[in-house]
Amino acid sequence: AQKVTQAQTEISVVEKEDVTLDCVYETRDTTYYLFWYKQPPSGELVFLIRRNSFDEQNEISGRYSWNFQKSTSSFNFTITASQVVDSAVYFCALSEASRSGGSNYKLTFGKGTLLTVNP
């Protein structure tokens, strides 16, 4: 069965610090996709990034960067020079084909990491 583990329940940092959110996943599929979502206090989940299992290149987007390592089944997320507006719950998610077949690809989410950035 697929599983996503976000071991850090809560992280608190001071503004301008760098912070890394960990994500470890389990899957039997050879083709899969990984995602990160941000959930601000308003509640709506906002898509941040998608990575497929064949592309292990790290990615940087502004202050955000992602480190995908297939060998350790990890997909970690780093925020550089954190800001108060980064305060949110961050979810890592895994998509693979459903066991019943078809074209449905369900997302399995980790339990989330609450990041608090203090001024």
Partner 1 sequence: DGGITQSPKYLFRKEGQNVTLSCEQNLNHDAMYWYRQDPGQGLRLIYYSQIVNDFQKGDIAEGYSVSREKKESFPLTVTSAQKNPTAFYLCASRPRGRGYGYTFGSGTRLTVV
Candidate list 44, 57, 71, 99; residue touching partner 1; CB under 8 A: 44
Check binding of 77 to partner 1 (CB under 8 A).
Answer: no
Of 1, 38, 2, 33, nearest to 21 by C-alpha is 38
Burial class (CB in 10 A: 0-12, 13-18, 19+), 114: middle
Q: How far is 94 from 3, CA to CA, in rounded Å?
A: 8
CB of 119 to partner 1, least distance (A): 25
Candidate list 2, 22, 24, 33; residue touching partner 1; CB under 8 A: 33
Query: For partner 1, which is the closer residue by CB, 80 or 97?
Result: 97
Q: Are 13 and 116 a contacting pair, CB within 8 Å?
A: yes
Stretch that binds partner 1, among 16-24, 60-68, 77-85, 106-114 (CB under 8 A): 106-114
Candidate list 16, 50, 63, 70; residue touching partner 1; CB under 8 A: 50
Tokens of 117: 């950035």
Q: How far is 65 from 58, CA to CA, in rounded Å?
A: 7
Q: Which residues bind partner 1 (CB under 8 A)?
A: 9, 31, 33, 35, 37, 42-47, 50, 52, 91, 93, 95, 97, 100, 102-107, 109-112
